[in-house]
C-alpha cells in the first residue's frame, strides 16, 4: 500500500461533535430546532454538548496523531460561518476551522473538508429550506467563501454528505430535520440539494479549490424480485448517482411520482466533472415487492447485525466498489465505514470492542480486495473518530474508535483504535 497517496483516516461531522452551538456567534441550525421537538431524539438530547470538540479539538488532534491517521474528514458548520445562511460572515467561525486546518497540516494529516453535513442554517429553513431553489444559491455563496479561505491548505472539498438522508430522512420519513413527511417535499429537496452541489462545484472551482467531489451513501441491494431490487436501487443509489453521471434522474421510485420543477440548465450543472466520489457504506438491504407510494418491503437483516440493527455485510462493500469502478469515471474514497456496538466502560484504560474490530477488519479487507482488482480506491475513513451525537438516536449509539465518557468528556481508546493504529503502522 502506497502510504504517500492512499489516505487512511477517520471521519466526523460538525453538529455531531462540536457542541458550542451558541458560542462565538454561531447561528442556529435545523438540528438545534429539530432536537427541541418532543420525541424527535430518542434520548431527548441534542448536539449540545456533543464531544465539545470546539473546545477540545487540540486533544482530538493529539489522538489522531497517536492513531497515525494520514487524513481527517470533518465538516464545516455552515451556521458558524454564515449565521443567517447568507450575507453576514462570522469571522470567529472561520477562525475555528483555520486553527483546526493549520493544526492538521502541522501534524502531517491531510484535511478532507465537507461543506454540508446536514446542519442547514435555521434562517434558510424559515425561507423554505431545501424545498426552495434559493437555498441552492445560498449554498454556492457559502461554498465560494469556504473555498477561498481554504483552497491553499485543504486538498479535498466535498460539497454534500449523503444528500439522500437530507432529502428522504428529512422530508419523507421525518426521522431527520426538518422532520417532514411529504414525497413532493422530498423530491424537491433532493433536486435542490443536487443543484446546490452543482453550483457549489462551480463556486469552489472558481475560488481555486483543487479537488472537488461529493459524498453519497450507498446501500447494497439484493433480492429475488428484479423489479423490487431495481426500485430499491433507484431509491437508495441511482437517484443521486445518475444525475451526477449526466444520465438525468432514473424513473422515480415513488408511485405516483410528484412533479418537481427542473429548470433548463439544472441537469447540466448537476453533472459537473468531479475529482472524486466519496462512498459511505454500512450495510445491505434485502428487498421484496411491497405496497404503497414506495412499493418495496425490506426483509429482516441476516445475523450478525450491529447496534443499529444493520446487517454486517462486507461483501457489499467489495461489490459496490467494483460496480462504481465500472459505472463511474472518478477516483473513489470510502469516506465512511464503521459500526455501532453497545460499548461499556468501567474505568479501564481500553474499551474492549471485538465486534467492531471484526467489522472494520472485514470491510477494510473487502475494500482493499476491490482495489487490488482494479477499483480506483484511494482512501478509507473509519466512521467515526469519536462516539458522538448519532442524530435521532442521540447518544445511544456509539460508533467511535475512541470512547467518549460524555459527563467528563474523557476519551478512552477502544481496542479498535489500537487495531487501526497497528494496521496503519504496518502500512495497512
For ligand IFM, the binding residues in 276-295 under the rule CB under 6 A are: 280
Cis bond before residue 384 (omega within 30° of 0):
yes
- Please pick, among 125, 336, 355, 390, the residue that the annotation labels catalytic: 336
Binding-site member from 60, 230, 266, 336 for ligand IFM (CB under 6 A): 336
The packing angle between helices 134-150 and 183-207, to 10°, is 30
In the bound state with ligand IFM, the residue whose beta carbon lies nearer, of 252 and 335, is 335
Residue 7 CA to residue 333 CA, distance in Å, equals 8
Cis bond before residue 281 (omega within 30° of 0):
no
- Give the interface size with ligand IFM as a residue count (CB under 6 A): 8
DSSP label at 399? -
Binding-site member from 125, 233, 355, 390 for ligand IFM (CB under 6 A): 390
In the bound state with ligand IFM, the residue whose beta carbon lies nearer, of 137 and 310, is 310
Quickly tell me which residue has 432514473 as its cell.
Answer: 250
Cis bond before residue 125 (omega within 30° of 0):
no
- Please pick, among 162, 311, 355, 390, the residue that the annotation labels catalytic: 162
Query: Helix, strand or coil for residue 217?
Result: strand
Establish whether 162 is a catalytic residue: yes
Per-residue binding string, ligand IFM, 4-23, x by CB under 6 A, is: ---------x--x-------
Task: Copy the grid coordinates of residue 291.
Answer: 405496497
Establish whether 336 is a catalytic residue: yes
The packing angle between helices 354-372 and 314-327, to 10°, is 30
In the bound state with ligand IFM, the residue whose beta carbon lies nearer, of 162 and 230, is 162
- Taking a C-beta distance cutoff of 8 angstroms, is the pair 77, 53 a contact? no
Residue 249 CA to residue 41 CA, distance in Å, equals 33
Minimum separation from the CB atom of position 340 to ligand IFM (A): 7
Cis bond before residue 136 (omega within 30° of 0):
no
Residue 68 CA to residue 70 CA, distance in Å, equals 6
Minimum separation from the CB atom of position 331 to ligand IFM (A): 20
For ligand IFM, the binding residues in 300-319 under the rule CB under 6 A are: none
Residue 10 CA to residue 413 CA, distance in Å, equals 14
DSSP label at 414? B
For ligand IFM, the binding residues in 370-389 under the rule CB under 6 A are: 383
In the bound state with ligand IFM, the residue whose beta carbon lies nearer, of 45 and 257, is 45
Minimum separation from the CB atom of position 150 to ligand IFM (A): 21
In the bound state with ligand IFM, the residue whose beta carbon lies nearer, of 336 and 355, is 336
Per-residue binding string, ligand IFM, 133-162, x by CB under 6 A, is: -----------------------------x
In the bound state with ligand IFM, the residue whose beta carbon lies nearer, of 56 and 215, is 215
Residues forming the site for ligand IFM (CB under 6 A): 13, 16, 162, 280, 336, 383, 390, 399
What are the residue numbers of the active site?
A: 162, 336
Amino acid at each position: 500500500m502506497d502510504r504517500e497517496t492512499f489516505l487512511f483516516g477517520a471521519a466526523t461531522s460538525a453538529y455531531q461533535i462540536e457542541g458550542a452551538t451558541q458560542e462565538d456567534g454561531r447561528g442556529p441550525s435545523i438540528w438545534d430546532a429539530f432536537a427541541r421537538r418532543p420525541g424527535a431524539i430518542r434520548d431527548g438530547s441534542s448536539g449540545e454538548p456533543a464531544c465539545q470538540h470546539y473546545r477540545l479539538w487540540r486533544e482530538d488532534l493529539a489522538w489522531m496523531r497517536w492513531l497515525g491517521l494520514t487524513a481527517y474528514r470533518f465538516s464545516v458548520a455552515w451556521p458558524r460561518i454564515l449565521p443567517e445562511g447568507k450575507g453576514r460572515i462570522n469571522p470567529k467561525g472561520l477562525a475555528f476551522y483555520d486553527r483546526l486546518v493549520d493544526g492538521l497540516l502541522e501534524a502531517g494529516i491531510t484535511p478532507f473538508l465537507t461543506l454540508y453535513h446536514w446542519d442547514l442554517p435555521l434562517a434558510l429553513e424559515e425561507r423554505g429550506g431545501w424545498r426552495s431553489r434559493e437555498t441552492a444559491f445560498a449554498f454556492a455563496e457559502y461554498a465560494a467563501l469556504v473555498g477561498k479561505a481554504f483552497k491553499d491548505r485543504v486538498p479535498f472539498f466535498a460539497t454534500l454528505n449523503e444528500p439522500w438522508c437530507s432529502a428522504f430522512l428529512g422530508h419523507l420519513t421525518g426521522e431527520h430535520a426538518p422532520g417532514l413527511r411529504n414525497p413532493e417535499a422530498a423530491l424537491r429537496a433532493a433536486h435542490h440539494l443536487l443543484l446546490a452541489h452543482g453550483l457549489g462545484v462551480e463556486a469552489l472551482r472558481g475560488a481555486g479549490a483543487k479537488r472537488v467531489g461529493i459524498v453519497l451513501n450507498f446501500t447494497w441491494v439484493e433480492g429475488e424480485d428484479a423489479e423490487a431490487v431495481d426500485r430499491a436501487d433507484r431509491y437508495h443509489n441511482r437517484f443521486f448517482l445518475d444525475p451526477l453521471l449526466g444520465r438525468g434522474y432514473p424513473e422515480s421510485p415513488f408511485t405516483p411520482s410528484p412533479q418537481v420543477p427542473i429548470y433548463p440548465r439544472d441537469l447540466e450543472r448537476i453533472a459537473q466533472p468531479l475529482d472524486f466520489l466519496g462512498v459511505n457504506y454500512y450495510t445491505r438491504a434485502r428487498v421484496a415487492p411491497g405496497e404503497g407510494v414506495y412499493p418495496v418491503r425490506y426483509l429482516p437483516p441476516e445475523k450478525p447485525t450491529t447496534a443499529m440493527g444493520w446487517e454486517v455485510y462486507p461483501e457489499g462493500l467489495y461489490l459496490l466498489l467494483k460496480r462504481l469502478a465500472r459505472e463511474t469515471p472518478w477516483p473513489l474514497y470510502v469516506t465512511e465505514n464503521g459500526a455501532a456496538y453497545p460499548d461499556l466502560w468501567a474505568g479501564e484504560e481500553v474499551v474492549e470492542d471485538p465486534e467492531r474490530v471484526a467489522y472494520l477488519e472485514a470491510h477494510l479487507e473487502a475494500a482493499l480486495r476491490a482495489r487490488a482488482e482494479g477499483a480506483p480506491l484511494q482512501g478509507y475513513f473509519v466512521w467515526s473518530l469519536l462516539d458522538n451525537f448519532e442524530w435521532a438516536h442521540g447518544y445511544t449509539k456509539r460508533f467511535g474508535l475512541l470512547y467518549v465518557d460524555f459527563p467528563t468528556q474523557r476519551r478512552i481508546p477502544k481496542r479498535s483504535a489500537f487495531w487501526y493504529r497497528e494496521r496503519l503502522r504496518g502500512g495497512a
